[in-house]
Amino acid sequence: MKYDHIGQMITEKIAEYGNNTALRYKAGEKWETLTYAEFGDKIKRLTCALIDAKIKRGDKVGIYSANRYEWAVSDFACILAGAVSVPIYATNTKEQAQFIIKDAEIKLIFVGNESQYQNLAAIHSEGAAIRIIPFDSIVDLDPAIATTFDEFIQIKDPAAYEAELNARQAEISRDDLTTIIYTSGTTGNPKGVMLSHANLFHQFEAVDANFNVTSKDTSLCFLPLSHVYERMWSYYVYLKGAVHTYLEDPKQVIDTMQEIKPTAMVSVPRLYEKIYAAVMNNQESASKLKKSLFKAALKTGADYYPKSFTQQNISFGLKLKHKLFDKLVLSKIRALVGGDKNFFSAGGAPLEKSIEEFFLSCGLLICQGYGLTETSPMVSYNTPGAFKFGTVGKLVPDCEVKIADSGEILVKGTQVMLGYYNNPEATAEAIVDGWFHTGDVGEFDGDGYLKITDRIKDLIITSGGKNIAPLNIETLVGKDFYIEQIIAIGDKRKFISALVVPAFESLEAWAHKKKIQYSSPEELIEHPEVTEFYKKRIELQSKLLAQYETIKKFKLLPKPFTMEAGEITPTLKLKRKQINEKFKALIDGMYHKSS
């Protein structure tokens, strides 16, 4: 990359794409747009406002909000002011936000809605010297500690700050700290991952090497911007002069995809799992004719699209069959996600092979990759030119990986973080002789594709001595239409059991058809027919598991695992230790002979 820092990059792109649409956002029920020039004007004004607010080079500035265009404006303004942006998940509790504010020594913080503002006001009252800038209008805003975003950004004469702006940007180098992203922490407090401009430029070059993204592309930003995956991708979207659409409520993602028709985007597997489960569930109740048509269409797509994506010769007969089945079936499935795609990307958790194959059969390639916050994030990826389902692809350029004797994946490369903020002990433990210890277990196949088998700390060793990867079980069984969440249990136990959270909307629709009477979720999950139904669903999804990996007993839960209860992280990873402790009595009950 020719740029010294990301601030320089966005400044040049604003000049290059001036009147092109940069972004879209929802105002009420209507989509509004900003051009690159309008986006740039807001960034510049906010940069001046930060300087006016005495934010110095290296100061930490927080962003505690759901996705919205102001998030990006604030982030870029921090970079141009020489400050360090520190995102906080919009779903973080007051206590979680308080830890980050204290640990990162945040001086000023942008905040989204009323409840997040109230959390910050309470944190301020307990001694944190923070200036609060709410994006929304707040009912009981205290002017002694807070100024609204619209008021804060009103700089009368941005030109008066020109010399200071230029001086600050001239001081920024590629190796400077850009952001501190706190890991979601499945155990203990989160750690602040320090990423530099060079870390992120490495990732842009990796995408450039194997993907074709242009100013004609449209992206949907629905993963939290506090997540390194969406953050890196969002920078890249602007690097290419494409259009970025901000979605504040991720629950609306499928409807929004159909509305704005993105051509490229990143996601976590859960989105693809839900779409797959819904399509396959509809097939269960379809007529024989529709079922056979669906199967024939997928078979044709499975023959056609691998050849199409890898530019192999396709016979006239296959082209003709594909044209027919595409019109009747496959194009309708693509319409669920807003039509044709340049590509999809998946990361953050494993995506089950059969789901990847299903989407490709419909003409949608999901390029699954692997990485961590500490690696900015990408270590490996599947690409349109080289993909193998069931793996996380080949290594990105300028990246080394070796597999330790324990099976742990060790990474070395320009994308490896600077270290953990304020935590030299954790840094020294994680990076040894230049190698970052990921904590993940994996292996390469004969073609150089990487496969992740599990997290070292998550591996289950049964009392019979079997080593079992719970993630594999949860990925296979959890793709079921009627399952929302699942945790596999069995460490130092005789067999594998599970706690299962039903997808209650789907379960209730099924129960209504079966005329099952119930007055509460608790009563519904205790019904014998429901228990038997889930037993069959789990068996159906467990066909690819070895006998010793299959779930022998399970308990249905009336409520989902939540962040507020300390059961999952902001990136939806299970906090296994906490769940095992919280539900100990229920779990123990599954292993008693009488249960």
pLDDT tens digits, residue range 227-241?
999 999 999 999 999
pLDDT tens-digit profile of 360-409?
999 999 999 999 999 999 999 999 999 999 999 999 999 999 999 999 99
Q: Could you tell me if residue 258 is inside a domain? A: no
Tokens of 267: 């996601």
What pLDDT does residue 185 have? 62
Return d(Cα 482, Cα 501) in angstroms, integer.
9
The CATH number that applies at residue 417 is 3.40.50.12780
pLDDT of residue 160: 94
Distance CA 395, CA 399 (A): 6
The predicted-structure confidence for 198-236, as pLDDT tens digits, reads as follows 999 999 999 999 999 999 999 999 999 999 999 999 999
Average pLDDT for residues 283-306, to the nearest whole number?
A: 96
Measured distance CA(375)–CA(373) in Å, rounded: 5
Q: In this model, does residue 543 exceed pLDDT 60?
A: yes
CA gap 475, 349 in Å, rounded:
9
Say what the pLDDT of residue 563 is.
Answer: 86
Tokens 């000023």, located at residue: 108
Asked if residue 198 belongs to a domain, the reply is no
Render pLDDT for 51-110 as a digit per residue (tens, 0 to 9): 999 999 999 999 999 999 999 999 999 999 999 999 999 988 899 999 999 999 999 999
Q: Please state the rounded mean pLDDT for residues 164-178.
A: 96
Whether residues 419 and 504 fall in one domain: no
Of residues 92 and 196, more confidently modeled: 196
In a domain, 464, yes or no: yes
Q: What pLDDT score was predicted for residue 592?
A: 85
Mean pLDDT, to the nearest integer, of 435-449? 96
With contact defined as beta carbons under 8 Å apart, do 452 and 440 qualify? Answer: yes
Distance in angstroms (rounded) separating the CA atoms of residues 481 and 17:
43
H/E run at residue 77: helix 69-80
> How far apart, in whole angstroms, are the C-alpha atoms of residue 47 and residue 57?
12
Question: Is 221 among the domain residues?
Answer: yes
Residue 331 has pLDDT above 60, yes or no: yes
234 within a domain of the structure (yes/no)? yes
381 and 398 share a domain?
yes
Q: Which of 412, 428, 455 is the last residue of a domain?
A: 455
Same-domain status, 322 and 432 = yes
Map tokens 């939290």 to a residue: 224
The pLDDT confidence band at residue 349, using thresholds 50, 70 and 90, is: confident
Phi-psi category of residue 380: left, alpha or beta, with phi > 0 → left and psi -120 to 50 → alpha? beta
What average pLDDT does range 481-505 have in this prediction? 96
With 0-12 / 13-18 / 19 or more C-beta atoms within 10 angstroms meaning exposed / middle / buried, residue 160 is: exposed
Domain's final residue, options 455, 476, 495: 455
Domain membership flag for residue 572:
yes
Average pLDDT over residues 271-275: 94
Residue 220 in contact with residue 262, Cβ under 8 Å? yes
Q: Is 67 helix (H, G, I), strand (E, B) or coil?
A: coil
Quote the pLDDT of residue 153: 97
Residues in the chain: 595
| Cα–Cα distance for residue pair 7/594, rounded to 1 Å | 65
Q: Using alpha carbons, list the distances in angstroms from residue 365 to 28, 111, 266.
A: 33, 36, 12
Domain count, the chain: 3
List C-alpha distances in Å: 319 to 305, 312, 324, 385, 533.
10, 12, 9, 21, 41
Query: Does the residue 443 lie in any domain?
Result: yes
In single-letter form, the type of residue at position 50 comes to: L
Domain stops at, among 422, 455, 488: 455
pLDDT-above-70 percentage for the chain: 99
Instruction: Report pLDDT for 573.
Output: 85
Q: 187 pLDDT exceeds 70?
A: no
- Give, for 521, the enclosing helix (H) or strand (E): helix 521-526
DSSP state string for 306-371: HHHHTT----HHHHHHHHHHIIIIIHHHHHTTTS--SEEEE-SS---HHHHHHHHHTT--EEEEEE
Question: Residue 594 pLDDT > 60, yes or no?
Answer: no
* Phi–psi pair at 441, nearest 5 degrees: -100, 135
Residues 471 and 440 in one domain: no
Indicate the pLDDT class of residue 322, thresholds 50, 70 and 90.
very high
- Do 382 and 514 fall into the same domain? no
The residue among 460 and 391 whose pLDDT is bigger is 391
Range of the domain at 82: 6-172+211-248
| pLDDT > 90 fraction of the chain, expressed in percent and rounded | 89
Looking up tokens 């079936």 gives 329
- Range name among 5-9, 186-190, 484-488 with the lowest pLDDT average: 186-190
Residue 435 and residue 545 in one domain: no
Distance CA 279, CA 275 (A): 6
* Residue pLDDT, tens place only, 406-424: 999 999 999 999 999 999 9
Is 94 a domain residue?
yes
Decide if pLDDT at 122 tops 70.
yes
The pLDDT tens digits of the residues spanning 521-531 come to 999 999 999 99
Query: Does 286 share its domain with 379?
Result: yes
CA-to-CA dists, residue 147 to 48, 50, 153, 285, 577, angstroms:
15, 12, 10, 56, 41
Q: Based on the domain organization, do 434 and 505 belong to the same domain? A: no
Alpha-carbon span 517 to 415, nearest angstrom: 56
478 and 440 within one domain: no
Average pLDDT over residues 575-589: 94
What is residue 195's predicted lDDT score, i.e. its pLDDT?
Answer: 98
- pLDDT of 595 > 50? The answer is no
The CATH number assigned to the domain holding 515 equals: 3.30.300.30
CA distance 121 to 118: 5
In angstroms, the CA 356 to CA 346 distance is: 10
Domain shared by 444 and 478, yes or no = no
pLDDT at 541 (0 to 100): 96
Kindly state the DSSP code that residue 527 receives in the 8-state scheme: S
Residue 318 — very low, low, confident or very high, per pLDDT cuts 50/70/90? very high
Q: Are 95 and 22 in contact (CB under 8 A)?
A: no
User: Mean pLDDT lowest for which of 418-427, 460-469, 533-542?
Assistant: 460-469
349 & 409 share domain: yes
Whole-angstrom CA distances from 79 to 62, 171, 175, 343, 546 are 12, 12, 13, 29, 51
DSSP 8-state assignment for residue 56: P
Are residue 292 and residue 360 in the same domain, yes or no?
Answer: yes
Average pLDDT over residues 287-294: 96
